[in-house]
Chain A
Amino acid sequence: MLNAMQSKNRTINLFYVPALVLFAFFVVYPFVKGIYLSMTNWNGYSRSFKIIGLANYKNLFADKNVRRAFVNTLIYGAGSTVIQNLLGILLAVLLNQKFRGRGFVRTVIYLPVMIAPLIMGYIMYFFFNYSRGALNDILKLLSLAPVDWLADGNRSVWILTLVNSLQFVGISMVIYLAGLQNIPGVYYEAADIDGITPSKKFLFITLPLLMPAITSSVTLNLIGGLKLYDVIIALTGGGPGYDTNSLSTLIYRYYFGGERAGYASAIGLVMFVFIMIVSNIVVRGLQKRQVEL
């Protein structure tokens, strides 16, 4: 009986064959080819190129633009994660209360999630533009001097982080709303009887019980932030200079604009390893916490 079930079980492995075929064809094969290209000086189109071993990898650690993009990628990833989750929890707590129009507000917050990040980037152009931008119009109304928002790379990195966070905060909010609704009301009732303050209730009941939701939300935000691409292309193009590039946009610029496809492939692989490590550490850390509770 058990044996029959075992063999039957093995045949169900066939169920994932179609998926694996697709992966092999459209992911693994190009990925392996990318590893090969990362060891060449290929310019991205020409027929002839040389194999140069690990020189690309050596160079990228000395490359100022790569370092900058690396730091930016961390900011996009970590910054978005922190902002989205803090704001997401706040919004969830606020919108978990009962009041009229609650559904409408939730809908409005979720709405930007549906918009292509590329289009959101273009819309933001109308806000941050210097001469006619919507933000400078507000400053003018308050008789303040207009600001050239995107002229300073350091500020632009944070603007991009904020745009990305606000666009996708709806996802975190929904996850946390669900988490809140899963917390049994008896815990709060018990706390009320013990006379515990609201802030302590939040810290000692709500937060710990939200841990699974936090894990989901953080993982989603982190990977999304680390791979940030469309909105940068639409809003700053990675400029001024190379100041707001993420690793993704830098790869794109090196690959095509700089005609250094081999080098860009090397950065791509390093980026892949980097995202793997960061998200694994974070996810592991969060899951451990869940277990301890």
Chain B
Amino acid sequence: MKKVFTVVIAVLMCASVVFAQAAAEENPTISVWVSGAGSQVEVLKAACEDFTAETGIKVEFSAPGDTYEEMMKTKMASNDLPDVFDTHGWAVVRYSDYLMPVNDMAFYKNISSQIIPTVSKDGKTYVLPFDMDLTGIVYNVDVMNEAGVDVDKIKTWADFEAACEKIKAIGKTPVTLGGSSGVTVGWYYDRVAPSFYYTDETNSKAADLKSGKFDPKPWEEISAMLDRWVSKGYLNADCVTGDFMGDITAISTAKAGFDFIQNVAITMGRANVNPDGNMGMMPIPSKSASDEPSLISGEGVALGIWKDTKHKAAAEKLLNYLAQPEVAAKVCTATGNVPALTNVKVDLGVLQQYIDKYSDVEAFNYFDRAYCPSGMWDVMCATGQDVLAQKSGAVAESAKQMKSTFDALWGN
């Protein structure tokens, strides 16, 4: 009996500690949610800590990594969003209903005109963008030299395959693609799809896609190309089960020629794997010789303020703090991307020369973000994994499933 009471009292004490702690946190604290992992998160976290030190406003920082999107969805469902959060490419399509326009804020005039259209709707801009995700295909310079490949001569996918053949001949992996989580497969489609759907103005299907019509034919060709690469041995042997860090390791240690990861492959590879990794970035080939190679451009790290926040003043203060050139620059350095604020100057190191070199190459937004209803990503990745695994009928099936999901999500 005595024991029982002791235990009960112990519980009550534990509970009171918990509640007391909760009560102490009542004074204004703003919650900040950031997607992704690794250095870009660490930079933002450190910046928030500096902000607290300077202003006394506490920041509840959260970076749930892979579960970010699903947690944001549950939070949207219950209208309980963080005061400040990252929109990871979906500022307009998914989050604009929940965001406060930033048009009146001090940093607004500094947002680059190139990114404004991507993060605005009806004249309202919803986020503070840090960087522009301007990217093509990352390659290893040493591997290209050894194989005798001149990347400037790669104009079409046929040229690209010829280059793969040369790389294979010197015993290296032409393309590294670690498909275990699906995201890298998704990035393959995101990079290749524009060249099959709309980079060629004479034959663009952009308007169809925007109006809810999905032509499965080009998709089947894109899957067939991936399937062909697997068959010809252009991909790493563990393309089905390899992972993101495996790709970064292969590309930065000159074991593979190309990869389909953003520029962060270069910064992360040099920071985490091989400081001497010699990587470059090239535009994405086109489908036909009459078309031109292109780049992908999208929203990078971008923070917005929840429209129903209870701490509006504090949240605005934080965005203004983060928009300062020296703070924003750190984020761009971490992602290896071009700044989205005109007053931010960043030395992108090895990457800078490629950004300058391709400054007049036309850039298109990510295929799934710009032309698909939200919710296609998972199908894109999963059916792509089936193609990688060379399951029978996977090529046709990928196009069929894309079409049926596209139609279902459009409500056709």
- Which residues of A come within 8 Å of B, CB atoms? 41, 43-47, 128-131, 148-153, 236-243, 253, 255-261
Chain A residues whose C-beta falls within 8 Å of the C-beta of B73 in the assembled complex: 44-45, 256, 259
B385 within 8 A of A: yes
Q: Which 6 A-B pairs have the closest CB atoms?
A: A257-B378, A259-B375, A130-B238, A256-B70, A45-B76, A241-B386
**Of listed B182, B240, B391, residue having the most chain A CB within 10 A:** B240
Shortest B368–chain A CB gap in Å is 12
Given known pairs A130-B241, A151-B240, the reply for A257 and B377 (CB within 8 Å) is: yes
Known: A150-B240, A153-B391. 8 other contacts (CB 8 A): A45-B74, A129-B238, A148-B237, A151-B241, A239-B385, A240-B385, A240-B386, A259-B409
Chain B residues whose C-beta falls within 8 Å of the C-beta of A149 in the assembled complex: 241
Chain B residues whose C-beta falls within 8 Å of the C-beta of A238 in the assembled complex: 382
CB < 8 Å neighbour of A150 from B70, B97, B241, B383: B241
Q: Is the interface of A mostly helix, strand, loop or mixed?
A: loop
Q: Decide if A129 touches B76 in the complex (CB within 8 Å).
A: no
Chain A residues whose C-beta falls within 8 Å of the C-beta of B391 in the assembled complex: 153, 241
B29 within 8 A of A: no
Q: Decide if B389 touches A153 in the complex (CB within 8 Å).
A: yes
Q: Decide if B388 touches A240 in the complex (CB within 8 Å).
A: yes
Contact with A along B380-412 (1 / 0, CB 8 A): 001101101101001000000000010011010
Interface size grouping (class) on chain B = 35 or more
CB < 8 Å neighbour of A130 from B242, B383, B385, B408: B242
B374 within 8 A of A: yes
Q: Decide if A45 touches B386 in the complex (CB within 8 Å).
A: no
Q: Decide if A240 touches B389 in the complex (CB within 8 Å).
A: yes
Chain A residues whose C-beta falls within 8 Å of the C-beta of B378 in the assembled complex: 253, 257-258
Shortest B371–chain A CB gap in Å is 16
**Of listed A43, A149, A253, A260, residue having the most chain B CB within 10 A:** A43
CA distance A129 to B238 in the complex (A): 9
Shortest B106–chain A CB gap in Å is 31
Q: Decide if B241 touches A241 in the complex (CB within 8 Å).
A: no
CA distance A49 to B396 in the complex (A): 32
CA distance A282 to B14 in the complex (A): 42
Chain B residues whose C-beta falls within 8 Å of the C-beta of A41 in the assembled complex: 411
CA distance A46 to B409 in the complex (A): 13
Nearest-CB residue, chain A, relative to B71: A256
Chain A residues whose C-beta falls within 8 Å of the C-beta of B233 in the assembled complex: none
CB < 8 Å neighbour of A259 from B240, B242, B374: B374
CA distance A240 to B181 in the complex (A): 9
Chain B residues whose C-beta falls within 8 Å of the C-beta of A240 in the assembled complex: 179, 240-241, 385-386, 388-389
**Of listed A43, A45, A46, A47, residue having the most chain B CB within 10 A:** A45
B273 within 8 A of A: no
CA distance A62 to B409 in the complex (A): 17
Q: Decide if B180 touches A237 in the complex (CB within 8 Å).
A: yes
Chain A residues whose C-beta falls within 8 Å of the C-beta of B70 in the assembled complex: 255-257
CA distance A129 to B180 in the complex (A): 11
- 15 A-B residue pairs with Cβ-Cβ distance under 8 Å, sorted by A, are A41-B411, A45-B72, A130-B238, A130-B241, A148-B241, A150-B240, A151-B389, A239-B382, A240-B385, A240-B388, A241-B394, A253-B378, A253-B382, A257-B377, A259-B375
CB < 8 Å neighbour of A237 from B181, B383, B411: B181
Chain B residues whose C-beta falls within 8 Å of the C-beta of A128 in the assembled complex: 241
Nearest-CB residue, chain A, relative to B249: A131
CA distance A52 to B77 in the complex (A): 19
**Of listed A131, A149, A236, A259, residue having the most chain B CB within 10 A:** A259
B379 within 8 A of A: yes
**Of listed A44, A46, A237, A240, residue having the most chain B CB within 10 A:** A240
Q: Decide if B238 touches A242 in the complex (CB within 8 Å).
A: no
Q: Decide if A148 touches B179 in the complex (CB within 8 Å).
A: no
B69 within 8 A of A: yes
CA distance A271 to B168 in the complex (A): 48
Q: Decide if B180 touches A239 in the complex (CB within 8 Å).
A: yes
Shortest B208–chain A CB gap in Å is 22
In chain B, residues 68-112, which have Cβ atoms closer than 8 Å to a Cβ of chain A?
Answer: 69-70, 72-74, 76-77, 97
B246 within 8 A of A: yes
CA distance A253 to B411 in the complex (A): 20
